[in-house]
Amino acid sequence: MATAPEPAVTTTVIRRSDIRNVAIIAHVDHGKTTLVDCLLRQSGQFRSSQLDRERILDSGDLERERGITILAKNIAVDWQGVKINLIDTPGHADFGGEVERVLRMADGALVLVDAAEGPMPQTRFVLGKALEARLQPLVVVNKIDRPDARPHEVLDEILELFLELGADDELADFPYLFASSRDGYASDDPTVREGTMQPLLDLVLKKIPGPAVDQAAPLRMLVTTLDWSDYVGRIAIGRVESGRLTRGGAVLRSTLEGSLVPAKATGLQVFDKLGRIDAEEATAGDIAAVSGIEPVEIGDTLCDPGDPRPLPRLAVDEPTLSMVFGINTSPLAGRSGTFLTTRHLRDRLLKELERNVALRVAPIPGTEQFAEGGL
């Protein structure tokens, strides 16, 4: 007697076409933040007063002083009806741990390389992490307006780097463009010296896939970044991997110890333009910011209370550098500045810990100093 055929396995995994999650990775000073500025200005969604300075996303005092990106930041740009979430990542090796976590929120990566310098150490480090995560790369050879630019040679060096890092044929066959972020144009012709960034935005929509989502799976959101607000406390940021997260909804938070703690998402926001806006819900593929869930940590998963399925936990790299902070004890102490005591120093370091989980801070016994870093 013939046996009945097994029922076909159906899948509910689809690619969202209305969103792109893209990380921008580059070595320090290869023009990454300038490229973001240019995309913001040419998107036509902002008032001139919102974009009245350079390096818009480098908002921290130290970032603006040093001209480098330290903390990853999210913005969103709408292009041809598609929301492009851009994740501006650090471009310095000292902040590599920040990069590794935020790559988990992306489906593709803009690999930005200076047309004169070529791939540099941080390019290698971050690109390796992006390839491990199977992000779709899109290469931008930037600063082609430099007098010493060598765009074709640099493109060959990038291909060699891909192969050295073990990229397969699919990833090594990457799309590419030549650009000048400072002058605001991109093209597939390295001799062009005019135009706009429209070719780059169009290529993002064409080559970088939308997030793969399982519409039937329960809620799962991996916390990859933390923020802090004096009004609502710690804010958990991550991509909703599956299901639906609602404002005021009950969730279970998976902890480092493996337990599931009941919590409530009292606040919910999604990224829009230069900031975040309140939302009633976030669905699979969205990058969301959730408040009211404390003490949430990097690597926690927000799960459906009825069907909790925690995601594999992220590891936060330990600090590799130690520094000692103390109050000024020189003969000129107290002649300038307003925060002069150990209490002020302690408060400032503890405030930094609310956002930066890669730091470790501890008092040095018998002194008025604090050790920060690898303790």
Percentage of residues of the chain with pLDDT beyond 70 = 81
Which has the higher per-residue pLDDT, 22 or 370?
22
Is the predicted pLDDT of residue 121 greater than 90, yes or no? Answer: no
356 confidence band (pLDDT: 50, 70, 90): low
Which has the higher per-residue pLDDT, 12 or 115?
115
**Residue 199 is inside which H or E element, if any?**
helix 198-207
Give the neighbor-by-neighbor strand order of the sheet with 73-79. 73-79, 82-88, 19-26, 108-114, 136-142, 176-180, 185-187
R_g (Cα) of the chain, nearest Å: 23
Is the predicted pLDDT of residue 334 greater than 90, yes or no? Answer: no
What is the pLDDT, as a whole number, of residue 2? 45
Q: Can you tell me the distance from the alpha carbon of 34 to that of 80, in angstroms, rounded to the nearest whole number?
A: 22
97 confidence band (pLDDT: 50, 70, 90): low
Which has the higher per-residue pLDDT, 102 or 171?
171
Helix 151-164 to helix 121-132 angle (10° resolution) is 50
The total number of residues shown for the chain amounts to: 375
Place of tokens 């307003």: 338
For residue 262, the one-letter residue type is: P
Domains and CATH numbers, the chain: 14-211 (3.40.50.300), 213-303 (2.40.30.10), 322-373 (3.30.70.870)
219 confidence band (pLDDT: 50, 70, 90): very high
What is the pLDDT, as a whole number, of residue 65? 42
Instruction: Give me the mean pLDDT over the 59-83 stretch.
Output: 62
* Average pLDDT value over all residues in the chain: 81
Residues 164, 169, 170, 173, CA torsion sign? positive
DSSP state letter for 153:
H
What is the pLDDT, as a whole number, of residue 55? 43
What is the pLDDT, as a whole number, of residue 174? 93
Q: What is the pTM of this model?
A: 0.77
Spatial CB neighbours of 182, under 8 Å, sequence gap ≥ 6? 31, 34, 38, 143, 145
236-253: per-residue pLDDT in tens?
999 999 999 999 999 999
Is the predicted pLDDT of residue 286 greater than 90, yes or no? Answer: yes
